[in-house]
Amino acid sequence: MPYLEPAAVLRRFSRFALEEIRPAIDGEERFVRGQVGSMASTLRFLAGELDASERAVTTQENALHEALDGVEHTLDDHDAAATAVREALADARDTLDGTDDEAGSRIRGTRERETTLLEACDDVLARVEANLDDETARAVRRPLYDFLDARLDAQLRTLGRRNESGDGSP
């Protein structure tokens, strides 16, 4: 195992690229200067991803659990049989159970866990579209959109967002 904390190394490289390498490049070499600038900010983002990826995926897992519960309650409230959607819910829960037990977490990396969550959510959303009437579909989508929002929020915070609003306004 390496000794240095990976995110800290990336941040140091980012700072060095921005503060030392970039100014040392001849002003005429705009393309190379631009490349070094992009490299520096990519390194900084990567450091943030390393710091936050495990935490972000756990947050998304919890959000999807809540979303699936919400979908089930909504279906019950609407007295909807919705067999295909309920099957997708069961499949999604099986998938989550495979990712959040200790053995599953060890076997699967963070990235693979996240991919599994995304596939599970998409499967439920697609079944909602294909199988429910318009009014029920709207209600059932709401908790699933909460999951999509939670994912976007986690991604944007990982990339450094500090402001609260997501509608483009500060």
The correct pick among 42, 55, 94, 101 for binding other proteins (CB under 8 A) is 42
**Stretch of 18-26, 30-38, 78-86, 89-97 lying at the interface with other proteins (CB under 8 A):** 30-38
Contact call for residue 35 and other proteins (CB under 8 A): yes
Q: How far apart are CA 77 and CA 142, in angstroms?
A: 14
- Nearest residue (CB) to other proteins, 1 versus 84: 84
- Decide whether 2 or 170 has the Cβ nearer to other proteins: 170
Q: Could you say whether residue 155 binds other proteins (CB under 8 A)?
A: yes
The rounded distance, in Å, linking the Cα atoms of 66 and 92 is 12
Contact 44, 16 (CB under 8 A): no
Cβ closest to other proteins, residue 12 vs residue 138:
138
Minimum separation from the CB atom of position 50 to other proteins (A): 14
Cα–Cα distance between 149 and 38 in angstroms, integer? 28
Show Cβ contacts of residue 33 under 8 Å, excluding neighbours closer than 6 positions: 22, 25, 27
Binding to other proteins, residues 76-135 (CB under 8 A): 114-115, 118-119, 121-122, 125-126, 129
26 near other proteins, judged by CB under 8 A: no
Instruction: Give the angle subtended at the CA of 118 by the CAs of 115 and 121, to the nearest 5°.
Output: 150
Q: What is the rounded distance in angstroms from the CA atom of residue 42 to the CA atom of residue 50?
A: 12
CB of 101 closer than 8 Å to CB of 93: no
Residues that bind other proteins (CB under 8 A): 30-31, 34-36, 38-39, 41-42, 45, 114-115, 118-119, 121-122, 125-126, 129, 138, 141-142, 144-145, 148-149, 151-152, 155-156, 159-163, 165-170
